[in-house]
Structure 1
Amino acid sequence: MRWKRKIHHGGSSQQQQIGPTLPDELCAIDEDVSHLSRIKSEPSQRTRASIYAGQKRPISTFKLLSGRESNCSGMGRFSSADCSYALRKHLPVKGPWCVDDMDSEAYISQFSADGSLLIGGFRGSHIRVYNSEKNWKVHKDITCKRLRWTVSDIALSPDQRFLAYSSLSPTVHIVNVQNAVRESHANITEIHEGLEFSDDDDGFPFGIFSVKFSKDGRELVVGNNNESICIYDLGANKVTERINAHVADVNVVTFADETSDVLYSGSDDSLCKVWDRRCHKKEKPVGVLTGHLDGITFIDSRGDGHYFISNCKDQTIKLWDLRKMSSTTKDCTPKAYEWDYRWMTYPSEARYLKHPYDQSLATFRGHSVLRTLIRCYFSPMHSTGQRYIYTGSSDQCVYLYDVATGKVVEKLRWHGSIIRDCSWHPYLPTLVSSSWDGYLVRWEATEDDRDPSMLKTGKQRMHPEGYTMSFVL
């Protein structure tokens, strides 16, 4: 079935409200977040003072290890900043190596919170859970129930016992990934419990694009193409909140921090909105962030309750600060061109347009967002101090941006088709990318040229057998 996306933009405006920016415009990073990114990925002041007193010089790994032996940090070990500084110089850019090779497009690749599991979602009805600590062996092979087209999103519960998966239907299914059954066929070898998110007032069977567990594991929140956010109470077994959040598809919803009180949402109406569940007027956002010129495809929170990033069909990633949000939507229609990202290239005349009311801290350009809801993330705190932003791209590369400078520091090239998702191990210098060529591959910080399992250039394919153009998500 072909689904048509609705595009709405509120208010009338003149095209001249949107000003062009120069192609060579530098990414102007807000000084606060730039400073925070640097101090979280630089050696601690005590370590630096002990090794190079009063000098701003690069510190080698050997010097760091020597400093640890002499207890420069005063803690008998590396500080978190020392760890980030040592590991951020060893980025996962070598390889790749094959994790899996399927005959359908890979839409999702996500590590668990502790990095022990990797979850891959594929078009059709297939999800695989891999044990990253046991040579990437398949821990659980899941054949899904009642999917429409593909697995649109997955979420692992905080205790890593249950996996929730969604598709272009109003039902989310939950399966136990920690029991003894390896081959999980829905309602044959295992029960895949279905959670219904629609109600009698819905005019059509909507599709779910985004699903997340709350931090306590008691609730699920989804974003859908019914322009709403729904929150499901797993204990009460029902939808307890339904927010008419946007005027177009809600492509992504996520929690701001560990409390699960604040939500971020992104929509095809080009807006990012902030929702506080503690407020009495839950139908109203506590803030709106304006600056994108097209539909939001993904949002990732920095986890500190202040900063998050969004990926967009206007071919940019933007960095936001909640302390700079507005209470209302600006009366402006930013879209001064017509195109369909599912099959057209991005208009060249729109590539450097700037929203007249842009509230973002920084804009990152270089990657491509076409044909599917491509995702972006902050790099891990433990190994990089969240110094980088990384994203998939429709030009078959993974991009790594430096938060502090805005520059592209690495491009990982091997895949033969669109990279919709990628995931950086929370503790190790390992990154996994998933592509429409059917491959899940991993990138490492080191490589052995004699390793016969490393994938060679020229071995990739454009798409797996059975690829179809009837719908893209």
Structure 2
Amino acid sequence: MYATASALYIDEMGYAMSRLEIDSDHCEDGNAIHEESSSGQSKMPSTFLDNEIAQITKLKSNPHQQLVQVGTGRPQLPVSPVKMLAGRESNYSGRGRFSSADRCHLLSRYLPVNGPWPIDQMSSRAYVSQFSADGSLFIAGFQGSHIRIYNVDRGWKVQKNILAKNLRWTITDTCLSPDQRYLAYASMSPIVHIVNAGSAETESLANVTEIHDGLDFSSNDYGGYSFGIFCVKFSKDGRELVAGSSDNSIYVYDLEANKISLRILAHTSDVNTVCFADETSHLIYSGSDDSFCKVWDRRCLIAKAKPAGVLMGHLEGITFIDTRGDGRYFISNGKDQTIKLWDIRKMSSNVTCNPGYRSYEWDYRWMDYPPQAKDLTHPCDQSVATYRGHSVLRTLIRCYFSPAFSTGQKYIYTGSHNACVYIYDLVSGAQVATLKHHKSPVRDCSWHPFNTMLVSSSWDGDVVKWEFAGSGDRPASLSKRVWTRHFYDEYI
């Protein structure tokens, strides 16, 4: 019964999407992401990314050749959802089901742009917000010391309300452990706290209802002093934390040994962002206010004590890095108002040139970006592609790849100082959607790993969700329809 109803829902969704496709040429809100030629035939935006990643992305998000030719006898993209469903039922591909690329082609064409629908509203600024890896939980951190964990599958009920301990200025970052049992949170302090995210206590007050373990990153071995942590991430195995700090350093904390295992004086200015490159945790990416992205290979740090490579191209400081997870590609958000895509195979062994462009005084915390700087380019730009349209001012705004499962990572998306969320096509560079609701900067946003849903959080205190839900109707209750990885694997 469940299988029949689930399969029927997918077919109904495909029908709804096909109906929307008829009217999508006149839509400006991002529902349709393909252009139309003068002859009336659909065509994809022109490609501006000439790189291996463009071909990889197309392979992950283009349907099977037999499905492409259904009803036409010749290749034609994009393929109608109805034609794809007909081809699946007729077993044109010989597999009897959609492949992951078929699924991505179908789902990635319809963006989470309808709404928004409110999740929460707080009296203080929202700084960070992220889905858990399986999409069942959502975490939001606010300047007023609150961190909230919402249960997505239970109507966004607040599962845990955490009051941060020893808060300095704001919650700068949060990270859920891979097993979703523990939450690490940081502020402008050298102490990173860990709280039990899965305990029965709904209200988590440090040393009152629960203990918030403090991990001290200011070890005396390194001449420790008061500094702040901007970014903290768990390793894939949950045994380590990597952090970027205001003392220009990268720290790795060994949770089993309960001590710092590595400290790298990595940059000449604040390290705003850091992350492990892939599941192995051998490579670390870092970005700094010195405008450089650096790649660190832990396997040879002891011998070299230098980065494996440096990537130049940003004209201003870097606010965030997101890895594609393959140990090769990542994106960075910069105060030069751009997102850049990087291939670490293009990195240099050291800094080879200085942009030398600055002929003005500018502070992104309170000044607009100078008009004369908008057309400047770095003389030694090593990036693969550059994306423009959003604004990066006042705060460390974050950017991400879209989910691999539902989109094949064919988009990148970011918050913006102008209170919007921007979605760009990775390959064409086109701005395919702009989500407008907030009244203050959107510092963070998160795309559900499996559902067509995106959540944005802003300095106005609002946390809201956006979905693709047919012809603009209100999304049905999550308890009635939850798209899960198991569901798609089983029925698509």
Query: What is the TM-score normalised by the length of structure 2?
Result: 0.84
- Structure 1 CA distance, aligned partners of 2:474 and 2:387? 35
Q: How many Å apart are 1:364 and its aligned residue? A: 0.4
Q: How many Å apart are 1:109 and its aligned residue? A: 1.1
Indicate if the aligned counterparts of 1:95 and 1:447 stay in contact, CA closer than 8 A.
no
Q: How many Å apart are 1:281 and its aligned residue? A: 3.0
String of CA shifts for 1:323-368, please: whole Å, max 9, x gaps: 1111111231445132000000000000110000000011101000
Partner secondary structure for residue 128 of structure 1: strand
Q: In the alignment, does 2:243 pair up with 1:222?
A: yes
Residue 96 (structure 2) aligns with: 76
Q: How many Å apart are 1:304 and its aligned residue? A: 1.2
Q: 1:330 aligns with which of 352, 361, 367?
A: 352
Residue 384 (structure 1) aligns with: 407
Partner secondary structure for residue 303 of structure 2: coil
Q: How many Å apart are 1:78 and its aligned residue? A: 1.1
String of CA shifts for 1:54-101, please: whole Å, max 9, x gaps: 322431111111222222333332100011011012100000000100
Q: How many Å apart are 1:50 and its aligned residue? A: 5.5
Q: 2:257 aligns with which of 236, 239, 249?
A: 236
Cα distance change of structure 1 residues 125 and 182 upon mapping to structure 2, 3 Å threshold: same
Q: How many Å apart are 1:45 and its aligned residue? A: 2.9
Q: Which amino acid aligns with 1:247?
A: T
Partner secondary structure for residue 115 of structure 1: coil
Residue 287 (structure 2) aligns with: 266
User: What is the percentage of aligned positions where both structures have the same residue?
Assistant: 61
Indicate if the aligned counterparts of 2:469 and 2:475 stay in contact, CA closer than 8 A.
no
Q: 2:332 aligns with which of 300, 306, 310?
A: 310
Give the unaligned 5+ runs of structure 1: 1-25, 455-473
Indicate if the aligned counterparts of 1:245 and 1:283 stay in contact, CA closer than 8 A.
no
359-368 or 72-81, which deviates more? 72-81
Name the structure with the higher helix share.
Answer: 2
Q: In the alignment, does 2:300 pair up with 1:275?
A: no
Residue 431 (structure 1) aligns with: 454
Q: In the alignment, does 2:287 pair up with 1:299?
A: no
Q: Which amino acid aligns with 1:250?
A: V
Partner secondary structure for residue 133 of structure 1: helix
Q: Which amino acid aligns with 1:382?
A: F
- Structure 1 CA distance, aligned partners of 2:260 and 2:395? 28
Alignment map for 1:47-446 (pairs within 5 Å): 47-49=67-69, 52-200=72-220, 201-202=222-223, 204-279=225-300, 280-281=302-303, 283-336=305-358, 337-446=360-469
- Structure 2 CA distance, aligned partners of 1:248 and 1:452? 45
Q: How many Å apart are 1:31 and its aligned residue? A: 3.0
Q: Which amino acid aligns with 1:427?
A: F
Cα distance change of structure 1 residues 392 and 450 upon mapping to structure 2, 3 Å threshold: closer
Partner secondary structure for residue 382 of structure 1: helix
Q: How many Å apart are 1:32 and its aligned residue? A: 1.8
Indicate if the aligned counterparts of 1:166 and 1:172 stay in contact, CA closer than 8 A.
yes
Indicate if the aligned counterparts of 1:290 and 1:360 stay in contact, CA closer than 8 A.
yes
Q: How many Å apart are 1:410 and its aligned residue? A: 0.6
CA RMSD in angstroms, aligned pairs only: 1.9
Indicate if the aligned counterparts of 2:47 and 2:427 stay in contact, CA closer than 8 A.
no
- Structure 1 CA distance, aligned partners of 2:470 and 2:64? 29
Residue 12 (structure 1) aligns with: none
String of CA shifts for 1:132-165, please: whole Å, max 9, x gaps: 1111111111111001011000111011110000
String of CA shifts for 1:38-62, please: whole Å, max 9, x gaps: 2211112343356654322431111
Q: Which amino acid aligns with 2:273?
A: V
Cα distance change of structure 1 residues 84 and 452 upon mapping to structure 2, 3 Å threshold: closer
Partner secondary structure for residue 323 of structure 1: helix
Q: Which amino acid aligns with 1:285?
A: P
Indicate if the aligned counterparts of 1:142 and 1:185 stay in contact, CA closer than 8 A.
yes
Q: How many Å apart are 1:250 and its aligned residue? A: 0.2
Give the unaligned 5+ runs of structure 2: 1-45, 478-492
Indicate if the aligned counterparts of 2:272 and 2:320 stay in contact, CA closer than 8 A.
yes
- Higher normalized contact order (CA 8 Å, seq sep 6+, divided by chain length): 1
Cα distance change of structure 1 residues 353 and 432 upon mapping to structure 2, 3 Å threshold: same
Partner secondary structure for residue 284 of structure 1: coil
Q: How many Å apart are 1:286 and its aligned residue? A: 0.3
Between Structure 1 and Structure 2, how many residues are aligned? 429
Residue 44 (structure 1) aligns with: 64
Partner secondary structure for residue 57 of structure 2: helix
Indicate if the aligned counterparts of 1:27 and 1:362 stay in contact, CA closer than 8 A.
no
- Structure 2 CA distance, aligned partners of 1:451 and 1:35? 36
- Structure 2 CA distance, aligned partners of 1:35 and 1:252? 28
